[in-house]
Amino acid sequence: MTTPASQPTSTAAPDRLATMFASAKAEGRPAVIPFVPAGWPELDATVEIVEAAVAGGADALELGMPFSDPLGDGVVNQLAYQQAIAAGCNQDTVFEAVRELRRRGCSVPLLVMGYFNSVLAYGVGRFVQVAADAGVDGLIIVDLPPQEAAELEVPARAAGLHMVYLLAPTSTDDRIRLVAEHGSGFIYCVSVVGITGERPELSAELPEFIRRVRARTELPLAVGFGISAREHVQAVGALADAAVVGSAFVRAITEAPAGQRSAAVRAFVEGITGREPGHRP
């Protein structure tokens, strides 16, 4: 078994991810991590959405960095990205949202999820420093495999940022070991082969996939792609440490009138986490 030897080396800030996973484990439940494209549906909507999700019981948030060719995302997320880009969203928009959330007292882990072209365009060193200064906890760069990630991974680790890599049911044992050696914070286990999107049920391959990953790492495991209902979160909780809720969360935002968005976001998260309305441990 590979131990998480590549944890960030900076001790300047608390490890919010480690604290989150420990708390969820102590409560006997999986952490729930919604995903939302930053700068969407309006350029300044991210702070409101994140705060409503946290009030509803979200344990962390993934903020999608809008990109013109998000090949790993399904139609719901692609459309949201297109709208965010058209509104003027860019890397600085994402970082400013994180900065504002931290100023307002948001203490849950905030991860930036996106594609490596956006990092390169911004400048790798600059991207890492601005992200760390803003209060980002980790990076999920969908199209960056660990064997090609040194340019980003080394400075990110030095700045105290977690590098979260993805695995799929088709990942070989060697690939799992490689991700376990390079990743930190948690490993993102894609539940199916394909793109993001809501699905009626979890893959029958998921238990064996998670067993294979568990045998090779002590890092927490999060399951994403297709998590859209409370029963999915419960099923994931029997196997892994966290459930990532993407397209269903984005759809709930899309369907909510702007004046009722916070209430709709909070209600959605309360429903998928199983929390009582108004309850936040």
pLDDT band at 6 (very low <50, low <70, confident <90, very high): very low
Query: Which of 124, 189, 187 shows the shortest CA–CA distance to 158?
Result: 124
135: left (phi > 0), else alpha (psi -120 to 50), else beta?
left
pTM over 0.85: yes
Answer yes or no: is pLDDT of 242 > 60. yes
**Each residue of 148-206: pLDDT tens digit?**
999 999 999 999 999 999 999 999 999 999 999 999 999 999 986 544 434 445 768 89
Distance CA 45, CA 68 (A): 20
Separation CA 28–CA 213 (nearest Å): 21
> Does the structure show a pLDDT above 60 at 3?
no
Higher pLDDT, 241 or 247: 241
Q: How far is CA 162 from CA 61, 117, 182, 252, in A?
A: 14, 19, 10, 29
- The pLDDT score that the predictor gives to residue 69 is 67
Query: Which of these is catalytic: 62, 96, 198, 241?
Result: 62
Query: What does the pLDDT look like over 86-105, one tens digit per residue?
Result: 899 999 999 999 999 999 99
Read off the DSSP letter of residue 217. Answer: B
Q: Mark whether 137 is an active-site residue.
A: no
**232 CB-contact burial (10 Å; exposed 0-12 / middle 13-18 / buried 19+):** buried
| Inter-CA distances, 8 with 4, 61, 139, Å | 10, 19, 12
Q: Where are the domains of the chain?
A: 29-272
Digit-coded pLDDT (tens) for 46-83: 999 999 999 999 999 999 998 776 565 566 667 888 88
φ and ψ of 216, to 5 deg: -125, 5
Q: Is-contact 50 79, C-beta < 8 A?
A: no
Distances (CA, A) of 72 to 5, 160, 166, 244: 28, 26, 11, 15
For the domain made up of 29-272, the CATH class stated in words is alpha beta
Nearest to 167 by CA among 212, 109, 116: 212
What's residue 223's pLDDT?
96
Determine the pLDDT at residue 71.
62
> Is 174 part of the annotated catalytic residue set?
no
Q: Out of 51, 59, 73, 198, which one is annotated catalytic?
A: 73
Q: How far apart are CA 46 and CA 96, in angstroms?
A: 10
Please report, rounded to a whole number, the percentage of residues in the chain having pLDDT higher than 70.
Answer: 86
Judge contact between 30 and 108, C-beta under 8 A: no
